[in-house]
Amino acid sequence: MPAQRTARRPPATDALSQDTKSRILDAAESLFTEHGFEATSLRQLTAAAGVNLAAVNYHFGSKEELFQAVLTRRLDPMNQERIDLLERYEREAGGKSLTCEKILSAMLIPALRLSRDEKLGGKNFLRVLGRAYADPAPFIRHFLSEQYAEMISRFKDAFLKALPHLTREELTWRLHFVMGALSYTLAGTDSLKLMLQVIAVEEDNDELLLQRLAPFLAAGLKAPLGDAKKLELVSGY
Residue from 22, 57, 97, 99 touching DNA (CB under 7 A): that is 57
Alpha helices in 94-167 (DSSP H): 100-116, 123-134, 138-162
Residue 28 is a binding residue for a second copy (CB under 8 A): no
- Is 59 or 102 the residue whose CB approaches a second copy more closely? 102
Compute the distance between CA of residue 98 and CA of residue 159 in angstroms, rounded to an integer: 8
- Is 52 or 72 the residue whose CB approaches DNA more closely? 52
Residue 127 is a binding residue for a second copy (CB under 8 A): yes
Q: Which of residues 205-224 bind DNA (CB under 7 A)?
A: none
Compute the distance between CA of residue 230 and CA of residue 237 in angstroms, rounded to an integer: 14
Stretch that binds DNA, among 44-52, 76-84, 112-120, 158-166 (CB under 7 A): 44-52
Residue 176: contacted member of DNA, a second copy, none (CB under 5 to 8 Å, by partner type): a second copy
End-to-end CA distance of the chain: 62
- How many H-runs (helices) and E-runs (strands) does the chain carry? 10, 0
CA dihedral 41, 43, 47, 52 (to 10 degrees): 130
Q: Helix %, strand %, coil % for the chain, to 5?
A: 70, 0, 30
The whole-angstrom distance between residue 5's C-alpha and the CA centroid of its chain comes to 30
Residue 104 is a binding residue for a second copy (CB under 8 A): yes
Residue 64: contacted member of a second copy, DNA, none (CB under 5 to 8 Å, by partner type): DNA
Return the DSSP state at 8: -
Residue 136 is a binding residue for DNA (CB under 7 A): no
Residue 187 is a binding residue for a second copy (CB under 8 A): yes
Residue 9 is a binding residue for DNA (CB under 7 A): yes
Compute the distance between CA of residue 33 and CA of residue 182 in angstroms, rounded to an integer: 18
Between 61 and 100, how does the x/- string for binding to a second copy read (CB under 8 A)?
----------------------------------------
Binding positions for DNA, rule: CB under 7 A: 2-9, 11, 19-20, 40-44, 51-59, 62-64
